[in-house]
Structure 1
Amino acid sequence: MADNSSIVKWAAKQAAHFIGPLGNRWLHVQGVVEQALQVCKAFEESEGAYLLAAAYLHDIGYAPELKRTGFHPIDGAIYLRAQGYERLACLVAHHSEAQCEARLRGLESEFAQFPREQSPVAEALNYCDMTTGPQGQRVSFEERIADILSRYGETDIVAQAIRQATPQLSQAVEHTQELLHSHNL
């Protein structure tokens, strides 16, 4: 396995290649990485490196050339697993409580191939994603949820999934805020 700095460099290079051409998606990813740069200060170096790498890669499955199922958390995870990054694959698969949307899309069996990591790193990834807006701006959790619901509309699968995931996402945001507070960050 790669050392801490090389996993982050590899992730940054992959993200720039695959997500860089995707306009606002790239702005969002860069904003999530900026959040992660602050949050990773609350972790030991190796865990912080995984948070940063996952922040770079969480939306890699949006890249058209990586499309397999049409659901970006799974498509990104499939790619990362193929590259030998199992932990990153699982973090990406489960980011932002993706199991809710996978279930609604009928992708439970594909999703089940990626074990869920229950950890402060996984929660911090959710925090970073759920406090970064679509153009990379910092937003509150409540603003982020409202924006997603507004952009997709009430009946869209994404809106249905985010409503189902809101309690778990809120808990992850709260836990990460407590962790940051305990480290005076």
Structure 2
Amino acid sequence: MRLLALNKPFGTICQFSPHETRASLADWVKVPDVYPAGRLDSDSEGLLLLTDDGALQARIAEPRHKLVKRYWAQVEGEPDEAALQHLAHGVDLGDYVTRPCRAGYIESPAALWPRNPPIRYRAAIPATWIELAITEGKNRQVRRMTAAVGFPTLRLVRVGIGALDIFSLGLLPGDSIELPARSPWDGFAKT
């Protein structure tokens, strides 16, 4: 069994096959026969796990396992406590209602690398950082959640999956590391 952690850069698509206009995982990961355990859209960045083990891939990606994924979202505006409570209790996105999650403010993260290209800056509209810890991972879920409560996401970084954290792994954008072989359930305790 192989398990790799990648800090997926902004603009990279979550596939190994080449793309006409964007970088793909093949530009960053040279290990053969591993596949992403879950996805991050091309506009999102951060921790992505790749494995050659189907059971582990399912354990990481499938919502029924309730594995916590932590995101830092820089949102447009200043969400009030009611907006955070709405996020935490579940948001009706039209096609489904999100599961309850943890949502809270965080300080502007000093440990975070600059994004290339940087997000747009608007002097008249403040930007706020929040953290969401969700157990799902549907298509563009965090972006849709913050937009639904009136605070569109400007930048989205996945900083943790289960007990793994991108900063403790020491990964900069484009860096990957092979994690020690282990039982499929080790290192993925709920947090």
TM norm structure 1: 0.27
Question: Between Structure 1 and Structure 2, which shows a larger proportion of helix residues?
Answer: 1
Question: Between Structure 1 and Structure 2, which shows a larger proportion of strand residues?
Answer: 2
Higher relative contact order (CA 8 A, sep 6+): 2
TM norm structure 2: 0.27
